Amino acid sequence: MNPIKIAVLAGDGIGPEVMREAIKVLRAAEKKFGFSVETTEAPVGWAGIDAAGKALPDATLALCKKSDAILFGSVGLPDRDPTIPKEERPERAALLRIRKEFGLYANLRPVRLPPALAHACPLTPERQGDGIDILVVRELTGGIYFGQPKKTEDLGAGNFRATDTLVYTTPEIERIAHVSFKAARLRRKKLTSIDKANVLENGVLWREVVTRIGKEYPDVALEHMFVDNGAMQLMLRPTQFDVLLCENMFGDILSDEAAALAGSLGMLPSASLGATSHGTTFGFYEPAGGSAPDIAGKNLANPIAQILSVSLMLRYSFGLNAAADGIETAVTKAIGAGNRTGDIFSAKESGARKIGTREMGDAITANI
Ligand code: IPM
Ligand code: MG
């Protein structure tokens, strides 16, 4: 088998240090499970601006285009934002641009609270039930993040008018609905579709289309929920959810909320997938959390979200399920053995050891 070609874009903030650990784990999995990977690093975000004057340098984009998958860290350094126009900032000029450029419309964010981390969940034990295990499916290339017009007009006298446009078409809703129903089939066969159909035109269309597509999946139980109620239900009774289907902005918000249930945003990986052609799916894999500049370079960041992003990559883009399982088991074992980065550490927990980014990467690598 030809080596799998991965573009490695570590980006800013904690990106490089968590990426280092993820590559360590990838290399260990490569040896153990007998596949072959070729990784090429390239700058993105502020690292791209510093290296080549653009958040997504041409050479980085060219590398992505000839790769089989993109392993991404995180971008953005808010302190530097005022120095360049907002369209050129990494979130828009690199991250959103890549999502659009590669048609990565399906964002999968699996939220799991491992039993060993029950203490890190802000909910009382009764509300955690037998454990939290939710897959947030977020539509990623439509909605209010991309709709036109998107502009700020000067109304004079110090007043402005800002416009963003929330727009979805039937095919955009259909394809993300299919992804969600298929994912639910492989899990507990329940799909909760989130919308705001009581107020938004988009919500009405969303609900109609998802209901219609649902007829093709009679084995999956479909329910609809308004987003405000969904946000509340996530806190009150998260165990009722299996797959949560959301449009772009609702998914952005609810996936952060759901991540808090899993103990930390540092635990949440994500896969952004485009269309499947010739049996392979081009994918973009990144932690759902941000660049966390406040803790960058201090060996404090939790590398687990980045490491689990590697496992999603092996699973979704390359069908290397045994290797993906191997990485997930290694993470569970490392946590089970009491290894904790600061974000998931509690002094009250007996047998827990507070360690750094590198040590967590080593502990997981040792379990591969
Ligand atoms: C995410 C992030 C991004 C988003 C930001 C950094 C643009 O919050 O992936 O959830 O809003 O999509
Ligand atoms: Mg977000």
Q: What is the pLDDT of residue 280?
A: 72
Of the bound ligands, which one is closest to the alpha carbon of residue 138? 1
For ligand 1, the distance from its centroid to the CA atom of residue 297, given in whole angstroms, is 22
**β-pairing verdict for 106-112 and 69-74:** unpaired
Residues lining ligand 1, Cβ inside 6 A:
76, 91, 95, 252, 288, 290
The pLDDT confidence band at residue 5, using thresholds 50, 70 and 90, is very high
| pLDDT at position 335 over 90 | yes
- The pair of structure tokens assigned to 253 is 């918000």
pLDDT in tens, 189-248: 999 999 999 999 999 999 999 999 999 999 999 999 999 999 999 999 999 999 999 999
Q: How far is the CA of 300 from the centre of ligand 2 (A)?
A: 21
Distance CA 169, CA 261 (A): 32
User: Residue 106 Cα, ligand 2 centroid: separation in angstroms?
Assistant: 14
Atom of ligand 1 nearest to the CA of 99: 12
User: Which contacts of 347-356 are long-range, i.e. CB under 8 A and separated by 24 or more positions?
Assistant: 348/119, 349/119, 356/299, 356/300
Asked whether 270 and 312 are in contact (CB, 8 A), the reply is: yes
Position in ligand 1 atom list of the atom nearest CA 75:
6
CA 253 – ligand 2 centroid, Å: 6
Give the residue numbers marked as catalytic. Answer: 145, 196, 228, 252, 256
Atom of ligand 1 nearest to the CA of 256: 10
Q: How confident is the model at residue 131 (pLDDT cuts 50, 70, 90)?
A: confident
Q: Which of 320, 325, 331, 364 is nearest to 35 (CA)?
A: 320
